[in-house]
């Protein structure tokens, strides 16, 4: 699968607040579907559908432990998405620094060395 396809699946999975909440829960450790469904007012099959989206995106994996099928967070895809976002954040930061320098030139003041985050 291409990097762009993986990013598409990742961002599509992250677009839903329920799936983001599931990922936040899994960040604390593995959990069963029943444990993941507990805080939501939706059926277990609905949570399972959300989990399938997360699994297809590579954000969650399933382990088979006797009769349990615990889900766990797979951080690699999140790291890829964060890296993609960071590259664009750096580009925007450079653009802001150039704009700051231009505005300082227009005002006749010395350019600032770094823009505050």
The four Cα atoms 86, 89, 90, 92 give a dihedral, to 10 degrees, of 160
Please tell me the distance from the alpha carbon of residue 21 to that of residue 38, in angstroms, as a whole number: 12
Q: How many domains does the chain have?
A: 1
Q: What is the pLDDT of residue 47?
A: 94
42-92 confidence digits (pLDDT tens): 998 999 999 999 999 999 999 887 778 899 999 999 999 999 999 888 888
CA distance 93 to 102: 14
Residue 92 lies in a domain: no
The verdict on residue 117 lying in a domain is: no
Q: What is the mean pLDDT of residues 31-40?
A: 92
| Residue 67 · residue 58 · CB < 8 Å | no
Angle between helices 3-14 and 17-26 (to 10 degrees): 100
Residue 46 belongs to a domain = yes
Position 18 pLDDT exceeds 80: yes
Does any domain span residue 115? no
User: Considering the domain boundaries, does residue 15 fall inside one?
Assistant: yes
| Residue 20: both structure tokens together | 């983001």
- Segments forming the whole domain that contains residue 53: 3-74
pLDDT interval class at 106 (50, 70, 90): confident
- Measure the CA dihedral 35/41/43/49, to 10°: -80
pTM of model > 0.85: no
- Say which CATH number the domain at 47 has: 1.10.10.10
pLDDT exceeds 60 at position 116: no
Decide the pairing of beta strands 71-73 and 60-62: antiparallel
Does the residue 104 lie in any domain?
no
pLDDT of residue 2: 86
In a domain, 35, yes or no: yes
Position 93 in a domain? no
């Amino acid at each position: 699968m291409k990097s762009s396809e993986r990013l598409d699946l990742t961002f599509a999975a992250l677009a839903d607040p329920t799936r983001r909440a599931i990922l936040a829960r899994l960040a604390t450790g593995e959990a069963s579907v029943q444990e993941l469904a507990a805080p939501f007012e939706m059926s277990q099959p609905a949570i399972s559908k959300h989990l399938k989206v997360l699994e297809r995106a590579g954000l969650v994996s399933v382990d088979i432990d006797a009769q349990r099928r615990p889900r766990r967070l797979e951080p690699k895809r999140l790291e890829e998405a964060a890296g993609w976002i960071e590259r664009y954040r750096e580009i925007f930061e450079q653009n802001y620094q150039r704009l700051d320098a231009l505005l300082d030139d227009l005002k006749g003041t010395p350019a600032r060395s770094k823009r505050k985050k």
